[in-house]
Amino acid sequence: MGAMTKTTLYLPVDLQRALRDEAKRSGKSQAELVREALTRFLRARGRPQPASIGIAADGALAGRDSEDWLRESWGEHRD
């Protein structure tokens, strides 16, 4: 399983009781149940996507159109 570090969790009494009861029923440790639950939760959420910055923040401009937008909006400035 790899290296581990100790973490302290503060749980409501009813949640801790349910965790303890499930550990007894399943024959697994409370820590193992918490690791499994956190792993499933985090995998289901997926990796965060970077937030769009600037011109595409409103969704009006697709990434594939950004270079055309730059050419039209900024153009080549000649003095």
pLDDT per residue over 35-55, tens digit each? 999 999 999 987 776 665 555
Residue 78 CA to residue 22 CA, distance in Å, equals 73
> What average pLDDT does the chain have?
84
pLDDT of residue 68: 83
Q: Is the pLDDT of residue 17 over 60?
A: yes
Mean pLDDT across 67-72:
81
- Cβ neighbours of residue 65 under 8 Å, at least 6 residues apart? none
Residue 62 CA to residue 55 CA, distance in Å, equals 10
Per-residue pLDDT of 18-27, as tens digits, reads 999 999 999 9
